[in-house]
Amino acid sequence: MPSRFKAVLFDHDGALVESEAVHHAIWNQVLQPYGVQIPVELFMADFSGVPAITNGHDIKKRYALAPDAAELADTKNGMTAEYLATHAFPLMPGVRESLARLQAAGLRKGVVTGARMFAIAATLRSHALAPEFEIVISADEVVHSKPAPECYLLALEKMGLQAHEAVAFEDTEHGVASAIAAGLACVAIPTAMSAVQDFSAATVVVPDMASAVDWVLRQG
């Protein structure tokens, strides 16, 4: 029996690629001149899966720093772009196999993320994944990024889908909140960097992407 879903919408950081540890390291590089470092436990709880500008506001308030949030976020994005010029975030386990299974089942695929387009472009280029995805919605396309629902609503509009026809794969509490607010089902796939977050709003919580695809294909 075919799945009741027509499309799967993937988050980027932590869902398609294993990047959160690098983001943590880059943020600490940004903050080093100010004598501030974000402990990994705090990053996992409050910063993982959150757009850079939102993290910038939190960091400025939390540590009473002089630069404004936009300056902090711009520095972080610049350092990330430098990193991606010579490195690629590795794919999360099971991504290629999962994309192949979804393709074989006739499901459409997109990327919906709070990351900037330059980061997603680097992933698609480095891993030759561009043909896999019908659309890419990044933080550059919306006014209010995750946890607001705007990015998912834009994806539905561009794909000509109703909310009940799509399911999101997310690895963070903020991502789950965004998908659920847009009316989508959401499969949460916590990672080591996000496992401490609250996933109670998710439709289902699974241990890995293969299990997420299993769940989608069972939904007749």
What digits encode the pLDDT tens for the residues 112-163? 999 999 999 999 999 999 999 999 999 999 999 999 999 999 999 999 999 9
Instruction: Specify the 3-state DSSP secondary structure of 178.
Output: helix
* Residue 48: Cβ-neighbour burial (10 angstroms; 0-12, 13-18, 19+): buried
pLDDT tens digits for 28-67? 999 999 999 999 999 999 998 888 999 999 999 999 999 9
User: What tokens were used for 155?
Assistant: 């994806």
178 contacts 152 by C-beta, under 8 angstroms? yes
Q: How far apart are CA 213 and CA 111, in angstroms?
A: 15
pLDDT band at 3 (very low <50, low <70, confident <90, very high): confident
DSSP per position, 67-83: S-HHHHHHHHHHHHHHH
pLDDT band at 109 (very low <50, low <70, confident <90, very high): very high
Q: Look up the pTM and report it.
A: 0.91
Instruction: Specify the 3-state DSSP secondary structure of 157.
Output: helix
- Consecutive H or E run containing 111: strand 108-112
